Chains A and B, each alone.
Chain A
């Protein structure tokens, strides 16, 4: 290389660097536009629909103006709550098995792969399965079948976080407890689990945030209902169902209400996510 081409070559490299980095920055910032538009649109359209009556009143018949989503709010809390009751004990015990008993065994590995597979199953397929397992034998749609579907979706998340958190509990604690003559099962329940409780709670919150907005598994399980019901054996309404049904309806007032329900659901899900992150940060701080 001669002395003359060296500076031009150098300049070209510098120029190329600037251009490509510039392109990367532009490409990186462009998607922010639609994503922020979505947030702004939800807020703008949603807050217009919000009022105390909207939250505490029952829906009006199709085509009539007004009415609210009180039954869907109750329904979402009910269905999600029931799925937590079904899913969490199974998940925590399975997580305990993986971290305390199974460890690196073949069976534990099979369970981990199964949890990963379950997490990847499309939510609409979970809905079909819950239909076959609960709705068909019962003969009608029900909140319970919706909860079973959502529980199936939360199990893999809670199993894996429980395992990860319990594995972080130092063995010294287990040994100290065992040395005091506490049997292993009580050590797990009274020492290991309470130590990892914040982490397990974080996992549950993440799972709840994930399932609270799920619509597809509820379409042919909880189904929806225009009335208030507290009976898990009956069809029940939920916020995601309201958003879907109202958005695809021909009534303008229902579109407005779909946005209202969307802003409520967004705040719920974002709130749960922020809360789980704050908890996760607390664990990281403790270490």
Chain B
């Protein structure tokens, strides 16, 4: 091999550094580009409806009147209801796997849970459509609610099942981080297992568990397919938990390819823009909590 001139190295070194830096910058540009694209594409709707878009309830592609409140409400109800349903189970599961069960059982179970978290959402949707919907319909007939089977409640249940493995594994990881000497100190003072969990483990792991819940919320807010398949796709203000409804993500999934008018398309993109802003805030919040945790 011929020895290259000493200056040659520098040239290639600089070029390689520039390419790598460029690709790093590209990640920033892509995120900025997503935001700018969403703003530009939704401009006709922003111009036509202004802030009214956020609190009017008429969504009418025929008369071209668009207000997103029913979808904001649909997303908030399904996400928070899913969180409320999933949180106790996720927390109990995390305590069980992180503290109570012996590792020789806990490890394989954790492995299976992480695999379940990887199953695509469209498959959860398929299962819910054919197994959960009839179950909910039966339940609705029992309590005298309109027996659609589909609707806000069913969508919340699927979401709860989907975010549970995710919230559980984050919380379990945090619980495992609690130093052994703290726990041993509590046991040494004669504390029972529950007292140790309640007064040592949970306070220590609190912010991490909260971060896990916020991350799970971020997931639930943007979840599309499973919700779209069971929520019933009705673009009016939901009146009860048993109503057919739409979330922000599901209305985009349903109407985007059918929107023929520019304003309709722009209104759908504006919902996407809102979804983007909400999830960015939620994820940054979780990130700040996690950074604080590391500092501690």
Contacts and interface: CB of A to CB of B under 8 A. Distances in A.
Contacts of A45: 130
Q: Give the secondary structure class of B's interface.
A: helix
B164 A114 contact: no
B182 interface: no
B130 A125 contact: no
Given A25-B100, A240-B122, A101 B275 contact: no
- Determine the interface band of chain A, counting residues with CB < 8 A from chain B: 35 or more
Contacts of B100: 21, 24-25
Contact of B37 (A23, A28, A98, A129): A129
Interface string B117-154: 01111111111011100000000000000000000000
B295 interface: no
A283 interface: no
A213 B123 contact: yes
B97 interface: yes
Interface residues of B, number: 79
A97 B131 contact: no
Contact of A14 (B41, B127, B192): B192
Closest 9 A-B residue pairs measured CB to CB?
A: A213-B120, A122-B222, A27-B92, A185-B16, A28-B96, A120-B283, A17-B192, A93-B23, A97-B24
Interface of B: 9, 12-13, 15-17, 19-28, 30-31, 33-34, 37-38, 41, 88-89, 92-93, 95-97, 100, 111, 113-116, 118-127, 129-131, 161, 164-165, 192-195, 218, 221-225, 229, 249, 252-253, 256-257, 268-269, 272, 275-276, 279-280, 282-284, 287
Interface of A: 13-14, 16-17, 20-21, 23-31, 34-35, 37-39, 41-42, 45, 89-91, 93-94, 96-98, 100-102, 107-108, 110-111, 113-129, 131-133, 152, 155-156, 159, 183-186, 188, 209-210, 212-216, 219-220, 223, 240, 243-244, 247-248, 255, 258-259, 262, 265-266, 269-270, 273-274, 277
